[in-house]
Protein backbone atom coordinates (compact mmCIF):
# COMPACT_ATOMS: atom_id res chain seq x y z
CA UNK A 1 0.00 0.00 0.00
CA UNK A 2 1.23 3.49 -0.91
CA UNK A 3 2.69 5.34 2.07
CA UNK A 4 1.55 8.91 2.81
CA UNK A 5 4.12 11.71 2.78
CA UNK A 6 5.60 12.74 6.13
CA UNK A 7 8.33 15.05 4.82
CA UNK A 8 7.97 18.15 2.70
CA UNK A 9 9.96 20.73 0.79
CA UNK A 10 13.17 21.53 2.72
CA UNK A 11 12.21 25.22 2.91
CA UNK A 12 8.77 24.31 4.34
CA UNK A 13 9.43 21.71 7.00
CA UNK A 14 6.97 20.59 9.69
CA UNK A 15 8.46 23.07 12.18
CA UNK A 16 7.36 26.00 10.00
CA UNK A 17 3.93 24.56 9.37
CA UNK A 18 2.99 24.77 13.03
CA UNK A 19 2.87 28.54 12.46
CA UNK A 20 -0.22 28.47 10.25
CA UNK A 21 -2.94 25.92 9.71
CA UNK A 22 -6.28 25.92 7.93
CA UNK A 23 -7.36 28.97 5.95
CA UNK A 24 -4.24 31.00 6.82
CA UNK A 25 -1.82 28.38 5.44
CA UNK A 26 -1.81 29.55 1.80
CA UNK A 27 -1.25 33.22 2.59
CA UNK A 28 1.48 32.39 5.10
CA UNK A 29 3.62 30.23 2.79
CA UNK A 30 3.46 32.76 -0.07
CA UNK A 31 4.22 35.70 2.23
CA UNK A 32 7.05 33.74 3.83
CA UNK A 33 8.65 33.02 0.43
CA UNK A 34 8.63 36.69 -0.52
CA UNK A 35 9.93 37.79 2.90
CA UNK A 36 12.81 35.31 2.73
CA UNK A 37 13.89 36.90 -0.55
CA UNK A 38 14.27 40.25 1.18
CA UNK A 39 10.94 41.74 0.12
CA UNK A 40 9.20 43.96 2.67
CA UNK A 41 6.21 42.09 4.11
CA UNK A 42 3.21 43.77 5.69
CA UNK A 43 0.00 42.19 7.00
CA UNK A 44 -3.22 44.22 6.68
CA UNK A 45 -6.70 44.36 8.18
CA UNK A 46 -9.81 44.27 5.99
CA UNK A 47 -10.40 48.03 6.34
CA UNK A 48 -6.97 48.96 5.00
CA UNK A 49 -7.48 51.34 2.06
CA UNK A 50 -5.15 49.32 -0.18
CA UNK A 51 -7.73 46.51 -0.29
CA UNK A 52 -10.93 48.51 -0.62
CA UNK A 53 -11.05 47.87 -4.39
CA UNK A 54 -9.96 44.21 -4.28
CA UNK A 55 -12.62 41.50 -4.20
CA UNK A 56 -12.17 39.59 -0.94
CA UNK A 57 -14.28 37.58 1.51
CA UNK A 58 -14.10 36.18 5.06
CA UNK A 59 -11.33 38.61 6.05
CA UNK A 60 -12.67 39.76 9.42
CA UNK A 61 -9.88 37.76 11.01
CA UNK A 62 -6.41 39.01 9.95
CA UNK A 63 -4.00 36.65 8.22
CA UNK A 64 -5.29 36.56 4.65
CA UNK A 65 -4.37 40.06 3.41
CA UNK A 66 -0.72 41.00 2.89
CA UNK A 67 1.60 43.02 0.69
CA UNK A 68 5.14 42.50 -0.58
CA UNK A 69 7.38 45.35 -1.68
CA UNK A 70 10.72 45.67 -3.46
CA UNK A 71 12.54 48.97 -3.90
CA UNK A 72 10.52 49.70 -7.05
CA UNK A 73 7.05 48.15 -6.62
CA UNK A 74 4.43 46.74 -4.25
CA UNK A 75 1.94 43.95 -4.86
CA UNK A 76 -1.12 43.22 -2.72
CA UNK A 77 -2.43 39.71 -2.07
CA UNK A 78 -5.61 38.07 -0.84
CA UNK A 79 -4.54 34.56 0.13
CA UNK A 80 -3.10 33.10 -3.12
CA UNK A 81 -4.44 35.80 -5.45
CA UNK A 82 -2.33 38.85 -6.24
CA UNK A 83 -3.41 42.23 -7.57
CA UNK A 84 -2.66 41.47 -11.23
CA UNK A 85 -5.82 39.32 -11.28
CA UNK A 86 -8.75 41.64 -12.00
CA UNK A 87 -12.02 41.73 -10.10
CA UNK A 88 -13.90 40.93 -13.31
CA UNK A 89 -11.86 37.74 -13.73
CA UNK A 90 -12.66 36.82 -10.12
CA UNK A 91 -16.39 37.40 -10.67
CA UNK A 92 -16.37 35.18 -13.77
CA UNK A 93 -14.57 32.44 -11.85
CA UNK A 94 -17.06 32.61 -8.98
CA UNK A 95 -20.02 32.14 -11.35
CA UNK A 96 -19.83 28.59 -12.68
CA UNK A 97 -22.35 29.26 -15.45
CA UNK A 98 -20.56 32.39 -16.62
CA UNK A 99 -17.22 30.53 -16.52
CA UNK A 100 -18.66 27.77 -18.68
CA UNK A 101 -20.08 30.27 -21.17
CA UNK A 102 -16.80 32.22 -21.44
CA UNK A 103 -14.68 29.11 -21.91
CA UNK A 104 -17.07 27.58 -24.45
CA UNK A 105 -16.89 30.74 -26.58
CA UNK A 106 -13.12 30.33 -26.62
CA UNK A 107 -13.24 26.73 -27.78
CA UNK A 108 -12.42 25.15 -24.42
CA UNK A 109 -13.88 21.71 -23.76
CA UNK A 110 -16.23 22.17 -20.77
CA UNK A 111 -18.84 20.03 -19.07
CA UNK A 112 -22.21 20.25 -20.79
CA UNK A 113 -24.71 22.03 -18.55
CA UNK A 114 -27.09 24.89 -17.94
CA UNK A 115 -27.95 27.24 -15.08
CA UNK A 116 -31.46 27.74 -13.70
CA UNK A 117 -33.02 30.08 -11.17
CA UNK A 118 -34.37 28.15 -8.17
CA UNK A 119 -37.87 29.49 -8.98
CA UNK A 120 -37.96 27.36 -12.15
CA UNK A 121 -40.49 24.52 -12.32
CA UNK A 122 -39.36 20.97 -11.68
CA UNK A 123 -40.70 20.05 -15.12
CA UNK A 124 -38.14 22.33 -16.79
CA UNK A 125 -35.37 20.78 -14.71
CA UNK A 126 -36.40 17.25 -15.58
CA UNK A 127 -36.78 18.14 -19.24
CA UNK A 128 -33.23 19.47 -19.45
CA UNK A 129 -31.81 16.46 -17.60
CA UNK A 130 -33.52 14.20 -20.10
CA UNK A 131 -32.05 16.27 -22.94
CA UNK A 132 -28.42 15.84 -21.77
CA UNK A 133 -29.06 12.29 -20.45
CA UNK A 134 -28.53 10.83 -16.99
CA UNK A 135 -26.45 10.60 -14.86
CA UNK A 136 -26.26 14.31 -14.02
CA UNK A 137 -24.75 16.59 -11.41
CA UNK A 138 -26.67 19.42 -9.73
CA UNK A 139 -24.98 22.13 -7.64
CA UNK A 140 -25.19 25.83 -6.74
CA UNK A 141 -23.91 28.27 -9.37
CA UNK A 142 -21.80 29.89 -6.65
CA UNK A 143 -20.14 27.62 -4.10
CA UNK A 144 -17.01 25.78 -3.08
CA UNK A 145 -15.63 22.94 -0.95
CA UNK A 146 -18.15 20.48 -2.40
CA UNK A 147 -21.02 21.97 -0.38
CA UNK A 148 -24.53 21.20 -1.70
CA UNK A 149 -23.15 19.26 -4.68
CA UNK A 150 -25.23 16.23 -5.72
CA UNK A 151 -23.40 13.72 -7.92
CA UNK A 152 -24.40 10.70 -9.98
CA UNK A 153 -28.11 11.48 -10.12
CA UNK A 154 -29.58 8.62 -12.14
CA UNK A 155 -33.28 9.41 -12.61
CA UNK A 156 -36.12 11.93 -12.25
CA UNK A 157 -36.89 10.93 -8.67
CA UNK A 158 -33.32 11.49 -7.45
CA UNK A 159 -33.11 14.80 -9.33
CA UNK A 160 -36.39 16.01 -7.82
CA UNK A 161 -35.13 15.28 -4.30
CA UNK A 162 -31.79 17.02 -4.93
CA UNK A 163 -33.44 20.04 -6.57
CA UNK A 164 -35.89 20.49 -3.69
CA UNK A 165 -33.02 20.43 -1.19
CA UNK A 166 -31.19 23.18 -3.06
CA UNK A 167 -34.36 25.24 -3.56
CA UNK A 168 -35.11 25.08 0.18
CA UNK A 169 -31.70 26.56 0.99
CA UNK A 170 -32.21 30.35 1.39
CA UNK A 171 -28.58 31.02 0.48
CA UNK A 172 -28.94 29.50 -2.99
CA UNK A 173 -30.44 31.61 -5.80
CA UNK A 174 -29.49 29.58 -8.86
CA UNK A 175 -28.31 26.09 -9.69
CA UNK A 176 -26.30 24.36 -12.38
CA UNK A 177 -27.20 21.03 -13.94
CA UNK A 178 -24.42 19.22 -15.79
CA UNK A 179 -23.94 15.91 -17.47
CA UNK A 180 -21.74 13.72 -15.29
CA UNK A 181 -18.44 12.72 -16.88
CA UNK A 182 -16.49 9.56 -16.14
CA UNK A 183 -12.84 9.97 -15.26
CA UNK A 184 -10.47 11.10 -12.55
CA UNK A 185 -10.78 14.48 -10.83
CA UNK A 186 -7.69 16.70 -11.14
CA UNK A 187 -6.61 20.14 -9.99
CA UNK A 188 -3.87 21.96 -11.91
CA UNK A 189 -2.28 25.27 -10.95
CA UNK A 190 -1.36 27.48 -13.89
CA UNK A 191 0.77 30.62 -13.79
CA UNK A 192 0.78 32.52 -17.08
CA UNK A 193 1.88 29.90 -19.62
CA UNK A 194 3.13 27.18 -17.26
CA UNK A 195 1.50 24.38 -15.27
CA UNK A 196 3.44 24.43 -12.00
CA UNK A 197 1.55 21.76 -10.03
CA UNK A 198 -1.08 19.08 -10.52
CA UNK A 199 -2.83 16.60 -8.25
CA UNK A 200 -5.41 13.89 -8.66
CA UNK A 201 -8.18 14.30 -6.08
CA UNK A 202 -9.51 11.00 -4.74
CA UNK A 203 -12.75 10.69 -2.71
CA UNK A 204 -12.31 9.92 1.00
CA UNK A 205 -11.56 6.24 1.45
CA UNK A 206 -10.14 3.63 3.80
CA UNK A 207 -8.38 0.29 3.25
CA UNK A 208 -9.22 -2.71 5.41
CA UNK A 209 -6.72 -4.71 7.46
CA UNK A 210 -9.02 -7.66 8.24
CA UNK A 211 -9.30 -6.69 11.91
CA UNK A 212 -10.35 -3.05 12.40
CA UNK A 213 -13.89 -1.73 12.08
CA UNK A 214 -14.74 0.99 9.57
CA UNK A 215 -14.95 3.47 12.46
CA UNK A 216 -11.46 2.51 13.65
CA UNK A 217 -10.08 2.75 10.10
CA UNK A 218 -11.54 6.25 9.72
CA UNK A 219 -9.98 7.31 13.02
CA UNK A 220 -6.61 5.88 11.93
CA UNK A 221 -6.87 7.66 8.55
CA UNK A 222 -7.58 10.93 10.34
CA UNK A 223 -4.47 10.47 12.49
CA UNK A 224 -2.45 10.20 9.26
CA UNK A 225 -4.12 13.33 7.90
CA UNK A 226 -3.19 15.24 11.06
CA UNK A 227 0.47 14.83 10.10
CA UNK A 228 -0.13 16.80 6.90
CA UNK A 229 -0.14 20.64 7.18
CA UNK A 230 -3.04 20.92 4.74
CA UNK A 231 -5.05 17.82 5.62
CA UNK A 232 -5.01 18.45 9.37
CA UNK A 233 -7.91 20.85 8.79
CA UNK A 234 -9.66 18.46 6.37
CA UNK A 235 -10.46 15.41 8.45
CA UNK A 236 -13.06 12.81 7.50
CA UNK A 237 -16.28 13.65 9.33
CA UNK A 238 -18.63 10.88 10.37
CA UNK A 239 -22.05 12.32 9.58
CA UNK A 240 -25.43 11.20 8.27
CA UNK A 241 -24.28 11.50 4.65
CA UNK A 242 -21.28 9.22 5.23
CA UNK A 243 -23.35 6.64 7.10
CA UNK A 244 -25.93 6.60 4.32
CA UNK A 245 -23.25 6.28 1.63
CA UNK A 246 -21.60 3.22 3.22
CA UNK A 247 -25.02 1.73 4.10
CA UNK A 248 -25.92 1.81 0.40
CA UNK A 249 -22.81 -0.33 -0.17
CA UNK A 250 -23.87 -2.81 2.51
CA UNK A 251 -21.68 -1.56 5.38
CA UNK A 252 -22.02 0.16 8.74
CA UNK A 253 -19.43 1.72 11.05
CA UNK A 254 -19.01 -1.52 12.99
CA UNK A 255 -18.31 -3.56 9.81
CA UNK A 256 -14.84 -5.07 9.34
CA UNK A 257 -13.28 -4.81 5.86
CA UNK A 258 -11.17 -7.62 4.41
CA UNK A 259 -7.44 -7.00 4.27
CA UNK A 260 -6.67 -4.79 1.27
CA UNK A 261 -10.34 -4.00 0.58
CA UNK A 262 -10.87 -0.32 -0.25
CA UNK A 263 -14.11 1.41 0.74
CA UNK A 264 -15.04 4.85 -0.56
CA UNK A 265 -16.85 6.99 2.01
CA UNK A 266 -18.28 9.51 -0.48
CA UNK A 267 -18.46 10.10 -4.21
CA UNK A 268 -17.13 13.68 -3.84
CA UNK A 269 -13.41 14.14 -4.34
CA UNK A 270 -13.00 17.44 -2.46
CA UNK A 271 -9.93 17.54 -0.21
CA UNK A 272 -11.85 19.69 2.30
CA UNK A 273 -14.22 16.82 3.13
CA UNK A 274 -11.60 14.09 3.48
CA UNK A 275 -10.37 13.46 -0.06
CA UNK A 276 -6.81 12.28 -0.77
CA UNK A 277 -4.35 14.19 -2.97
CA UNK A 278 -1.74 12.59 -5.22
CA UNK A 279 0.83 14.56 -7.23
CA UNK A 280 0.59 13.78 -10.97
CA UNK A 281 2.49 16.67 -12.58
CA UNK A 282 5.11 14.47 -14.23
CA UNK A 283 2.43 12.17 -15.65
CA UNK A 284 0.31 14.82 -17.37
CA UNK A 285 0.13 14.77 -21.13
CA UNK A 286 1.13 17.89 -23.07
CA UNK A 287 -2.42 18.00 -24.40
CA UNK A 288 -3.85 18.38 -20.89
CA UNK A 289 -1.28 21.04 -20.00
CA UNK A 290 -2.06 23.01 -23.17
CA UNK A 291 -5.80 22.88 -22.40
CA UNK A 292 -5.18 24.26 -18.89
CA UNK A 293 -3.00 27.10 -20.16
CA UNK A 294 -5.61 28.01 -22.82
CA UNK A 295 -8.29 27.96 -20.11
CA UNK A 296 -6.48 30.64 -18.10
CA UNK A 297 -5.80 32.70 -21.23
CA UNK A 298 -9.50 32.59 -22.18
CA UNK A 299 -10.44 34.82 -19.24
CA UNK A 300 -9.10 38.36 -19.53
CA UNK A 301 -7.28 39.54 -16.41
CA UNK A 302 -6.67 36.04 -15.08
CA UNK A 303 -2.91 35.46 -14.88
CA UNK A 304 -2.83 32.56 -12.44
CA UNK A 305 -5.45 30.23 -10.97
CA UNK A 306 -6.40 26.61 -10.33
CA UNK A 307 -8.20 24.58 -12.98
CA UNK A 308 -10.43 21.66 -11.97
CA UNK A 309 -10.97 19.08 -14.69
CA UNK A 310 -11.92 15.49 -15.38
CA UNK A 311 -9.48 13.29 -17.31
CA UNK A 312 -11.00 10.19 -18.89
CA UNK A 313 -9.27 6.84 -19.30
CA UNK A 314 -8.50 7.79 -22.91
CA UNK A 315 -6.75 10.97 -21.73
CA UNK A 316 -9.45 13.44 -22.81
CA UNK A 317 -9.76 16.39 -20.42
CA UNK A 318 -12.93 18.36 -19.68
CA UNK A 319 -12.83 21.57 -17.62
CA UNK A 320 -15.24 21.64 -14.66
CA UNK A 321 -14.47 25.03 -13.16
CA UNK A 322 -11.82 27.65 -12.36
CA UNK A 323 -10.79 28.76 -8.86
CA UNK A 324 -9.24 32.23 -8.93
CA UNK A 325 -8.38 32.21 -5.21
CA UNK A 326 -7.45 28.58 -4.88
CA UNK A 327 -6.22 26.57 -1.95
CA UNK A 328 -2.68 25.48 -2.85
CA UNK A 329 -1.99 23.47 0.30
CA UNK A 330 -2.77 20.14 -1.35
CA UNK A 331 -0.37 20.94 -4.20
CA UNK A 332 2.44 21.91 -1.83
CA UNK A 333 1.63 19.14 0.67
CA UNK A 334 0.11 16.25 -1.34
CA UNK A 335 -0.78 13.15 0.62
CA UNK A 336 1.10 11.08 -1.96
CA UNK A 337 3.83 12.01 -4.42
CA UNK A 338 6.15 14.97 -4.93
CA UNK A 339 5.48 18.29 -3.15
CA UNK A 340 5.51 21.25 -5.56
CA UNK A 341 6.83 24.69 -4.64
CA UNK A 342 3.87 26.78 -5.80
CA UNK A 343 4.71 29.72 -3.46
CA UNK A 344 8.10 30.14 -5.16
CA UNK A 345 6.45 30.06 -8.58
CA UNK A 346 3.96 32.77 -7.57
CA UNK A 347 6.70 35.03 -6.17
CA UNK A 348 8.79 34.39 -9.30
CA UNK A 349 5.88 35.72 -11.36
CA UNK A 350 5.32 38.89 -9.31
CA UNK A 351 8.99 39.59 -8.53
CA UNK A 352 11.07 37.89 -11.26
CA UNK A 353 14.15 39.87 -10.23
CA UNK A 354 14.31 37.82 -6.99
CA UNK A 355 14.55 34.44 -8.75
CA UNK A 356 17.37 32.06 -7.84
CA UNK A 357 18.50 34.14 -4.86
CA UNK A 358 21.60 32.29 -3.55
CA UNK A 359 21.23 33.96 -0.15
CA UNK A 360 17.53 33.43 0.48
CA UNK A 361 17.01 33.40 4.23
CA UNK A 362 16.26 30.03 5.87
CA UNK A 363 14.51 31.77 8.79
CA UNK A 364 10.77 32.04 9.41
CA UNK A 365 8.68 34.33 11.59
CA UNK A 366 6.12 33.89 14.35
CA UNK A 367 2.88 34.27 12.41
CA UNK A 368 0.35 34.72 15.20
CA UNK A 369 2.50 37.05 17.29
CA UNK A 370 2.74 39.38 14.28
CA UNK A 371 -1.03 39.32 13.79
CA UNK A 372 -1.85 40.15 17.42
CA UNK A 373 -1.80 43.98 16.95
CA UNK A 374 -4.16 43.55 13.99
CA UNK A 375 -6.48 41.27 15.95
CA UNK A 376 -6.58 43.85 18.74
CA UNK A 377 -7.27 46.65 16.20
CA UNK A 378 -4.27 48.61 17.49
CA UNK A 379 -3.03 49.17 13.91
CA UNK A 380 -4.32 48.59 10.36
CA UNK A 381 -1.08 47.02 9.14
CA UNK A 382 2.02 45.49 10.65
CA UNK A 383 5.48 45.24 9.10
CA UNK A 384 7.66 42.15 9.48
CA UNK A 385 11.32 42.86 10.20
CA UNK A 386 13.61 42.06 7.26
CA UNK A 387 15.35 38.69 7.82
CA UNK A 388 19.08 38.08 7.85
CA UNK A 389 20.44 38.19 4.31
CA UNK A 390 23.74 37.12 2.86
CA UNK A 391 25.59 33.96 3.78
CA UNK A 392 23.90 32.21 6.74
CA UNK A 393 25.83 29.82 8.98
CA UNK A 394 24.26 27.21 11.22
CA UNK A 395 25.31 24.69 13.85
CA UNK A 396 23.61 22.17 16.11
CA UNK A 397 25.26 21.33 19.42
CA UNK A 398 24.06 18.15 21.13
CA UNK A 399 24.90 18.66 24.79
CA UNK A 400 25.00 15.97 27.50
CA UNK A 401 25.42 16.29 31.26
CA UNK A 402 23.45 18.13 33.91
CA UNK A 403 22.00 20.63 31.42
CA UNK A 404 18.23 20.72 32.04
CA UNK A 405 18.12 23.75 34.33
CA UNK A 406 15.72 26.34 32.89
CA UNK A 407 17.93 29.14 34.21
CA UNK A 408 20.81 27.70 32.18
CA UNK A 409 18.63 27.72 29.06
CA UNK A 410 17.69 31.35 29.70
CA UNK A 411 21.37 32.15 29.91
CA UNK A 412 21.91 30.57 26.48
CA UNK A 413 19.05 32.64 25.10
CA UNK A 414 20.64 35.82 26.50
CA UNK A 415 23.96 34.98 24.81
CA UNK A 416 22.11 34.30 21.53
CA UNK A 417 20.35 37.68 21.68
CA UNK A 418 23.64 39.43 22.37
CA UNK A 419 25.21 37.75 19.33
CA UNK A 420 22.14 38.46 17.13
CA UNK A 421 21.71 34.73 16.66
CA UNK A 422 18.46 32.86 15.95
CA UNK A 423 17.74 29.31 17.01
CA UNK A 424 16.53 27.34 19.99
CA UNK A 425 17.37 25.05 22.90
CA UNK A 426 15.30 21.90 23.18
CA UNK A 427 15.34 18.92 25.52
CA UNK A 428 15.81 15.53 23.87
CA UNK A 429 14.14 12.30 24.99
CA UNK A 430 17.47 11.02 26.37
CA UNK A 431 17.77 14.15 28.59
CA UNK A 432 20.46 15.71 26.43
CA UNK A 433 19.69 19.07 24.83
CA UNK A 434 19.89 20.40 21.28
CA UNK A 435 21.23 23.92 20.91
CA UNK A 436 20.66 25.16 17.36
CA UNK A 437 22.05 28.53 16.23
CA UNK A 438 22.00 30.39 12.89
CA UNK A 439 23.43 33.76 11.94
CA UNK A 440 25.65 35.83 9.63
CA UNK A 441 28.83 35.76 11.73
CA UNK A 442 30.68 32.44 11.35
CA UNK A 443 32.85 33.14 14.40
CA UNK A 444 29.86 33.56 16.71
CA UNK A 445 28.15 30.44 15.29
CA UNK A 446 31.25 28.22 15.30
CA UNK A 447 32.25 29.29 18.80
CA UNK A 448 28.84 29.12 20.44
CA UNK A 449 30.03 26.01 22.25
CA UNK A 450 31.94 28.40 24.50
CA UNK A 451 28.63 29.97 25.54
CA UNK A 452 27.36 26.46 26.28
CA UNK A 453 30.35 25.89 28.61
CA UNK A 454 30.24 29.32 30.25
CA UNK A 455 27.67 28.70 33.00
CA UNK A 456 29.10 26.07 35.41
CA UNK A 457 26.90 27.33 38.26
CA UNK A 458 23.72 26.19 36.54
CA UNK A 459 25.07 23.34 34.41
CA UNK A 460 27.66 20.58 34.22
CA UNK A 461 28.49 19.85 30.58
CA UNK A 462 30.02 16.44 29.94
CA UNK A 463 30.10 16.31 26.13
CA UNK A 464 29.26 18.50 23.11
CA UNK A 465 28.69 16.98 19.67
CA UNK A 466 28.80 19.57 16.88
CA UNK A 467 26.93 19.23 13.58
CA UNK A 468 26.29 21.49 10.59
CA UNK A 469 22.72 22.87 10.45
CA UNK A 470 20.82 24.20 7.42
CA UNK A 471 17.15 23.58 8.25
CA UNK A 472 14.84 26.58 8.80
CA UNK A 473 14.59 28.14 12.27
CA UNK A 474 12.31 30.83 13.68
CA UNK A 475 13.58 34.39 14.04
CA UNK A 476 14.77 34.92 17.63
CA UNK A 477 15.83 32.30 20.14
CA UNK A 478 13.33 29.91 21.72
CA UNK A 479 13.40 27.73 24.79
CA UNK A 480 11.29 24.84 23.61
CA UNK A 481 9.44 22.68 26.11
CA UNK A 482 9.96 18.98 25.53
CA UNK A 483 6.99 16.87 24.50
CA UNK A 484 6.68 15.12 27.88
CA UNK A 485 6.50 18.45 29.69
CA UNK A 486 4.00 19.85 27.18
CA UNK A 487 1.73 16.82 27.61
CA UNK A 488 2.00 17.13 31.38
CA UNK A 489 1.13 20.84 31.24
CA UNK A 490 -1.80 20.10 28.90
CA UNK A 491 -3.11 17.43 31.28
CA UNK A 492 -2.82 19.85 34.20
CA UNK A 493 -4.81 22.49 32.30
CA UNK A 494 -7.47 19.94 31.38
CA UNK A 495 -7.73 18.83 35.02
CA UNK A 496 -8.01 22.45 36.15
CA UNK A 497 -10.75 23.10 33.58
CA UNK A 498 -12.68 20.04 34.76
CA UNK A 499 -12.42 21.20 38.36
CA UNK A 500 -13.52 24.71 37.36
CA UNK A 501 -16.54 23.31 35.48
CA UNK A 502 -17.42 21.24 38.56
CA UNK A 503 -17.11 24.29 40.85
CA UNK A 504 -19.30 26.40 38.53
CA UNK A 505 -21.95 23.65 38.41
CA UNK A 506 -21.92 23.33 42.20
CA UNK A 507 -22.20 27.11 42.67
CA UNK A 508 -25.04 27.31 40.13
CA UNK A 509 -26.96 24.62 41.99
CA UNK A 510 -26.48 26.47 45.30
CA UNK A 511 -27.72 29.76 43.74
CA UNK A 512 -30.80 28.07 42.26
CA UNK A 513 -31.50 26.43 45.59
CA UNK A 514 -31.16 29.73 47.43
CA UNK A 515 -33.46 31.54 44.98
CA UNK A 516 -36.13 28.94 45.68
CA UNK A 517 -35.64 29.20 49.43
CA UNK A 518 -38.13 30.76 51.87
CA UNK A 519 -35.72 33.56 52.94
CA UNK A 520 -35.17 34.69 49.32
CA UNK A 521 -38.93 34.94 48.75
CA UNK A 522 -39.43 36.64 52.12
CA UNK A 523 -36.92 39.41 51.37
CA UNK A 524 -38.24 40.05 47.86
CA UNK A 525 -40.33 43.16 48.86
CA UNK A 526 -37.29 44.70 50.56
CA UNK A 527 -35.15 44.20 47.44
CA UNK A 528 -37.94 45.73 45.32
CA UNK A 529 -38.13 48.84 47.57
CA UNK A 530 -34.32 49.14 47.39
CA UNK A 531 -34.49 49.12 43.59
CA UNK A 532 -37.13 51.90 43.61
CA UNK A 533 -34.94 54.03 45.94
CA UNK A 534 -31.97 53.67 43.56
CA UNK A 535 -34.07 54.76 40.58
CA UNK A 536 -35.46 57.80 42.47
CA UNK A 537 -31.94 58.87 43.48
CA UNK A 538 -30.82 58.77 39.84
CA UNK A 539 -33.82 60.87 38.78
CA UNK A 540 -33.22 63.46 41.54
CA UNK A 541 -29.53 63.83 40.73
CA UNK A 542 -30.11 63.75 36.97
CA UNK A 543 -27.90 60.70 36.42
User: Is a pLDDT exceeding 60 seen at residue 535?
Assistant: no
Give the per-residue pLDDT at 10.
85
* Res. 540 pLDDT band, cuts 50 70 90: low
Residues 388-421 pLDDT 10s: 778 899 999 999 999 999 899 999 999 999 999 9
Give the per-residue pLDDT at 452.
95
The bridge status of strand 304-311 relative to strand 317-323 is: antiparallel
DSSP 139: E
* Res. 495 pLDDT band, cuts 50 70 90: low
Contact between residue 138 and residue 167 where contact means Cβ atoms under 8 Å apart:
no
User: Is a pLDDT exceeding 90 seen at residue 361?
Assistant: no
- Segment 409-438 mean pLDDT: 93
H/E element, 522: helix 518-522
End-to-end Cα separation, the chain, in angstroms: 76
Give the per-residue pLDDT at 427.
93
User: Is a pLDDT exceeding 60 seen at residue 489?
Assistant: no
User: Is a pLDDT exceeding 90 seen at residue 33?
Assistant: yes
- Segment 37-46 mean pLDDT: 94
* Res. 484 pLDDT band, cuts 50 70 90: low
Centre a 10 Å sphere on the Cβ of residue 198 and count the other Cβ atoms it contains. 27
**Distances, alpha carbon 524 to alpha carbons 511, 529, 537, in Å:** 15, 9, 20
- Segment 208-215 mean pLDDT: 96
Residues 230-272 pLDDT 10s: 898 899 999 999 999 999 999 999 999 999 999 999 999 999 9
User: Is a pLDDT exceeding 90 seen at residue 24?
Assistant: no
Give the per-residue pLDDT at 482.
55
Give the per-residue pLDDT at 493.
66
Distance CA 318, CA 324 (A): 18
Q: What are phi and psi of 100, to 5 degrees?
A: -60, -45
Give the per-residue pLDDT at 233.
87
Distance CA 419, CA 450 (A): 13
| pLDDT, mean over the chain | 89
Give the per-residue pLDDT at 516.
63
Beta-strand runs (E) in 124-269: 136-140, 150-153, 174-179, 184-191, 194-202, 205-207, 262-264
Give the per-residue pLDDT at 13.
77
Residues 148-167 pLDDT 10s: 888 889 999 999 998 998 98
Give the per-residue pLDDT at 531.
63
Lowest mean pLDDT among 87-101, 181-195, 363-377: 363-377
Q: Please spell the DSSP secondary structure of 40-58, one letter per residue.
A: EEEEE-TT-GGGTTS---S
Distance CA 535, CA 153 (A): 67
Phi-psi region of 192 (alpha: psi -120 to 50; beta: other; left: phi over 0): left
- Segment 38-53 mean pLDDT: 93
Nearest to 449 by CA among 427, 439, 464: 464
Q: Using only C-alpha atoms, what is the Rg of the chain?
A: 29
The bridge status of strand 262-264 relative to strand 150-153 is: unpaired
Higher pLDDT residue, 539 or 139? 139
Lowest mean pLDDT among 275-284, 495-504, 524-533: 524-533
Give the per-residue pLDDT at 534.
64
Residues 298-348 pLDDT 10s: 999 999 999 999 999 999 999 999 999 999 999 999 999 999 999 999 999
Distance CA 195, CA 198 (A): 8
Distance CA 316, CA 305 (A): 21
The bridge status of strand 381-384 relative to strand 136-140 is: unpaired
User: Is a pLDDT exceeding 70 seen at residue 145?
Assistant: no
Lowest mean pLDDT among 38-42, 144-148, 419-423: 144-148
User: Is a pLDDT exceeding 80 seen at residue 173?
Assistant: yes
User: Is a pLDDT exceeding 60 seen at residue 520?
Assistant: no
Amino acid sequence: MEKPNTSWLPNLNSEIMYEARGFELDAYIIALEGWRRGLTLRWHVKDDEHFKNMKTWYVDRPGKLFSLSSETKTHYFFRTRGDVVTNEAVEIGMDKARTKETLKKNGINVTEGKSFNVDVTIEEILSYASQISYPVVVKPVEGSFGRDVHLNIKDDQELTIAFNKLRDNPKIDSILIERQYNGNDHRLYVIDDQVVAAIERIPANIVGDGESTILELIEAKNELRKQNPRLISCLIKIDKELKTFIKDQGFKLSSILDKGERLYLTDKSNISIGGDSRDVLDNLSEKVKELSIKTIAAISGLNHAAIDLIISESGEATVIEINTTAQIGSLVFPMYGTPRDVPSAIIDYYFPETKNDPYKSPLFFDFYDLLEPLNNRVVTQTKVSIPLKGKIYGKRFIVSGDVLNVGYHRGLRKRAFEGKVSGYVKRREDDRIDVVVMGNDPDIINNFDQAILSDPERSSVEEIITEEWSEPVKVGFEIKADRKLQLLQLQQLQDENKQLDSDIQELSEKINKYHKSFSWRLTAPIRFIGLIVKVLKKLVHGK
